[in-house]
């Protein structure tokens, strides 16, 4: 797993956020996925905001370096590319991107040391047309039409996640491997277990009617083959068979 070194992950800009909780949760989402810079445009309850800090989890470093601006125009001044998130279609001739495309464009910009920012609107009514007008493109999420209204921090989460995922290059990225199972059993170890089990089942006349034995054996073997048995598994299974053969200890 390798991550691109990122000098300019996109800036997150919350326009007139009302609830401190959402500011904090946005910061937490940013930290989860490696975003760093949060800007606020005239937050309703001023700044700093206690509720933001109590909802930020371990992301207090992001809140500590928040920058506050009086207007959205000020907040995007130093940026090269601005994306406006909105759930509703607007009558503006702007490209409309999904989160994946937005993330890819931000990464492409980084490549040239250009800075991108993503605007998020007010809890009640989103971004205004001026704000969208200042943006290079609209970003929208694949929501169900009747339930298009997103919590701000949730929208930040999805875009941050998608940026991170794209920056890791792989859709099938996983951050940790399952611990190594013990060494896989060899075929002869597995067959040794099969013979052990099948012999024991013969002894207790398990296969009834006897002409079905071949298909029963085949199914049982298939089941254990699917489990990709380790050497430890084979020892355990043979222990179980031995225990059943012996029955209750004296």
User: Considering only residues 135-174, where is the footprint of a copy of itself by CB under 8 A?
Assistant: 138, 140-151, 153-154, 157-158, 161, 164-165, 168, 171-174
* CB 35, CB 28: distance < 8 Å: no
Single out the residue of 120, 133, 128 nearest to residue 94, CA to CA: 133
Q: In angstroms, rounded to a whole number, what is the distance separating the alpha carbons of residues 132 and 143?
A: 20
Q: Does 247 bind a copy of itself (CB under 8 A)?
A: yes
Closest distance between a copy of itself and the C-beta of residue 70, in Å?
30
Greatest alpha-carbon pair distance for the chain in Å reads 86
Scanning residues 184 to 243, which ones bind a copy of itself (CB under 8 A)?
A: 200-201, 203-206, 216, 219-220, 223-224, 226-229, 232-233, 236-237, 239-240, 243
The single residue among 13, 16, 28, 189 that binds a copy of itself, judged by CB under 8 A, is 28
A 10 A CB-CB count for 111 gives 12
- Our CB check for a copy of itself shows the closer of 175 and 209 to be 175
Span near a copy of itself by CB under 8 A; candidates 46-54, 68-76, 97-105, 110-118: 97-105
Single out the residue of 132, 168, 148 nearest to residue 13, CA to CA: 132
On the CB side of 17, CA atoms within 13 Å amount to 29
The first and second tokens of residue 8, run together, are 């300019």
- Our CB check for a copy of itself shows the closer of 145 and 211 to be 145
- Our CB check for a copy of itself shows the closer of 154 and 186 to be 154
Closest distance between a copy of itself and the C-beta of residue 69, in Å?
25
Scanning residues 107 to 136, which ones bind a copy of itself (CB under 8 A)?
A: none
User: Which strand ranges, in their side-by-side order, compose the sheet holding 67-69?
Assistant: 67-69, 38-41, 11-15, 116-120, 81-85, 137-139, 96-97
Q: In angstroms, rounded to a whole number, what is the distance separating the alpha carbons of residues 84 and 96?
A: 9
Q: Does 34 bind a copy of itself (CB under 8 A)?
A: yes
Scanning residues 69 to 88, which ones bind a copy of itself (CB under 8 A)?
A: none
Q: In angstroms, rounded to a whole number, what is the distance separating the alpha carbons of residues 34 and 107?
A: 13
The single residue among 78, 179, 187, 209 that binds a copy of itself, judged by CB under 8 A, is 179
Closest distance between a copy of itself and the C-beta of residue 245, in Å?
8
Closest distance between a copy of itself and the C-beta of residue 56, in Å?
10
Closest distance between a copy of itself and the C-beta of residue 231, in Å?
12
A 10 A CB-CB count for 89 gives 9
Q: Is residue 205 classed as helix, strand or coil in its secondary structure?
A: coil
- Our CB check for a copy of itself shows the closer of 71 and 228 to be 228
Length of the chain: 250
206 - beta bridge partners? none
Closest distance between a copy of itself and the C-beta of residue 151, in Å?
6
């Amino acid at each position: 797993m390798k991550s691109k070194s990122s000098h300019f992950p996109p800036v997150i800009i919350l326009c007139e956020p009302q609830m401190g909780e959402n500011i904090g949760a946005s910061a937490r989402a940013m930290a989860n996925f490696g975003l760093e810079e949060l800007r606020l445009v005239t937050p309703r309850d001023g700044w700093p905001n206690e509720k933001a800090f109590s909802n930020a989890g371990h992301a207090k470093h992001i809140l500590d370096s928040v920058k506050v601006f009086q207007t959205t125009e000020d907040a995007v001044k130093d940026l090269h590319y601005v994306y406006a998130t909105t759930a509703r279609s607007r009558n503006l001739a702007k490209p409309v991107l999904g989160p994946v495309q937005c993330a890819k464009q931000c990464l492409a910009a980084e490549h040239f040391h250009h800075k991108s920012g993503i605007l998020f609107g007010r809890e009640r009514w989103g971004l205004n047309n001026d704000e969208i007008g200042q943006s290079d493109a609209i970003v929208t999420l694949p929501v169900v039409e009747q339930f298009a209204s997103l919590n701000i921090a949730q929208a930040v989460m999805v875009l941050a996640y998608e940026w991170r995922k794209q920056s890791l290059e792989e859709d099938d990225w996983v951050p940790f491997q399952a611990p190594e199972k013990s060494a896989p059993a060899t075929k002869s170890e597995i067959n040794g277990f099969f013979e052990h089990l099948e012999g024991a089942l013969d002894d207790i006349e398990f296969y009834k009617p006897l002409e079905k034995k071949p298909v029963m054996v085949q199914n049982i073997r298939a089941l254990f083959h699917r489990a990709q048995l380790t050497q430890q598994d084979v020892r355990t299974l043979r222990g179980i068979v031995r225990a059943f053969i012996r029955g209750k200890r004296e």
